[in-house]
Structure 1
Amino acid sequence: MSGIRCTQCGTTGLEPGFVEDLGQGARGYSRWIAGALERGVFGGAKRMGRPRWQIDAHRCPKCGHLEMFAVRPA
């Protein structure tokens, strides 16, 4: 994905990174989960049986815009 172009300003060569999650019980990174958000009895998101995808984020060095992509974990 090194040839990604910023959708805001058109700059190429976006900087790779990831979205950090430091919430309670977090593993340190965010994930994309398929389907609309459904809340369980205690208010948390229902995730059982849903595929989870890693989120790759790329930052534009010129305007700072983030481009995010959901990719299958290795």
Structure 2
Amino acid sequence: MDRFVSAACLINPEFRTNTKAIQLAYARWSATNAGDTLSPRALGMALRNQYDIAVVRSNGQRYYRGIALHGGQQPLNQ
């Protein structure tokens, strides 16, 4: 998990990213870098436990609060 986060993500409480975007980026990264891929549920649990990332809902969408993909950060107030 640490390798994925350091390679592909930014941690900041002001960021939020759609859960599907993080899951897709992780699956792509894992296919070329890690071999075994965590399930979406296990990925979410690992993010919560290791980085204090929370899931928030807005307009019917689910987001991870506190994380963004490089080049794709979205402040929470948007």
| TM-score w.r.t. length of structure 1 | 0.21
The structure richer in helix per residue is 2
Structure of greater Rg: 1
